[in-house]
Amino acid sequence: MQKAAKEQKYEEAAYLRDKIQAIENISQKQKVSNVITNDIDVIGIAKNDINVCVEIFFVRGSKMIGREHYFLSELKDMEISEILSGFIKQYYLGSENLPNKIMIEEEIEDEEILEQILTESAGRKVEIKSPKKGEKLRFVEMAKNNAKVTLENKQENKFEILTELKEKLGLEKLPMKIETFDISNISGTNMVAGMSVIKDGKINKALSRRFRIKTVFGQDDPRCMEEVIERRLRHSIENKNSGFGDLPDTIFVDGGITQIRAALNACKKVKVNIPIFGMVKNDKHRTRALINEQKEEFPLSEDAMNLITRFQDTVHDTAIEYHRKLREKEMTKSALDDIEGIGPKKREELLKKFGSIEKIKKASIEELTQINGINENLARKILENLK
């Protein structure tokens, strides 16, 4: 299977993957007998940077009668114990078909309360256990390993998306590295750009970058786009050991024809040939399609469009957050740093106590003089300058 995947024979790899899973299912059912006599659900969890997989084995009368799995990407930042607790509440509370025992990989904080609620609901004792040794522990580990395999298989589907992009967009090779750029400004001030990266079929936030616009004055998003992409490409061309790594296989820009042409101009300046596509939105600000310079739209599967939508949202957030940070920094600087007698330490103490410039404006002389080093005269000067 791995050999087929490396050779980019993805259909063959998927076929072999399904065969492996079928064999593992038979093996698991054989292992279940003689291990457990009660009706038991076994929960295993696997997680990575973008998703969580919860796998349940159903054991009834010493036989594994089935299994289910759920993907819960919204829980990816939670600890395993928190995921277990939340899942058990959502899955079992109110259910009419409760097992005698729920086996999990680690203890949860509200275990006793949940046991009591489930016992009352079932009219018989329901236990939540996290085995530490023996056959039962191995069975929990089996469920956990299955969750890991299921999650990995879902990640392998990303390569199917890359294959689709290669074919639909007419690329010469799989786009293993895709970069996207977005410009953010308000009335031409604090102009910045965000860059996000899809690496090996998934969005890699660690590779995101932020840029301040250096050569464009006034609101001109296409020229800003051209500047930023040229600077980014030169990083890889002039210094292969830079944090930007290799050149991208393709570039998606946030916008339409003018942004595509700006990106193409940047590529021409550094003499590289990289396919450029625009991510255009509909009236509801949702990603509608990928387009090229000729305004051709490319129909893509739902999975591919979902990935591209998240990609566009990610780069937009990166640019917006950087713009907001610079704007807040500028507002703070202009408001406090120009006041004679206010140095970095007093500024920090003022913001720490009051939280914002607006709240400092509303403070009384008495409240301001509580800050170490601020007397009545300086307090009056602060209020006069801010107001």
Q: How many angstroms from the chain centroid is the CA of residue 26?
A: 35
Q: Domain ranges for the chain, please list them.
A: 2-165, 177-321, 338-386
For residue range 96-117, list pLDDT tens digits in order.
Answer: 788 999 999 999 988 999 999 9
Mean per-residue pLDDT over the chain, rounded = 85
Two structure tokens written together for 262: 């700006």
Q: Name, in order, each residue with C-beta under 8 angstroms of 283's C-beta and a sequence gap of 6 or more.
A: none
Domain 177-321: CATH class, spelled out: alpha beta
Q: Supply the DSSP string of 11-30, one letter for each residue.
A: HHHHHHHHHHHHHHHHHHHH
Q: How confident is the model at residue 157 (pLDDT cuts 50, 70, 90)?
A: low
For residue range 208-266, list pLDDT tens digits in order.
Answer: 898 988 888 777 889 999 999 999 999 999 987 778 889 999 999 988 899 999 999 99
d(CA 328, CA 343): 18
Out of 3.20.130.10, 1.10.40.60, 2.40.50.430, 1.10.150.20, select the CATH number for domain 338-386: 1.10.150.20
Domains 2-165 and 177-321 share a fold: yes
d(CA 156, CA 14): 9
Strand order in the sheet with 101-103: 63-71, 52-60, 40-47, 101-103, 127-129
Q: How confident is the model at residue 34 (pLDDT cuts 50, 70, 90)?
A: very low
Q: Which residues of 16-28 are buried (b: 16+ CB within 10 A; e: fewer)?
A: bbeeeeeeeeeeb
d(CA 136, CA 210): 50
For residue range 330-356, list pLDDT tens digits in order.
Answer: 666 657 777 888 887 888 788 788 877
For residue range 185-222, list pLDDT tens digits in order.
Answer: 665 566 888 899 998 888 888 888 989 888 887 778 89
Domain 2-165: CATH class, spelled out: alpha beta
* From 28-32, 196-200, 289-293, the region with the lowest mean pLDDT: 28-32
| pLDDT score recorded for residue 269 | 95
Beta-bridge partner residues of 290: 279, 298
Helix residue spans in 54-208 (DSSP H): 80-92, 111-122, 134-169
Which stretches does DSSP call E strand in 11-118?
Answer: 40-47, 52-60, 63-71, 101-103
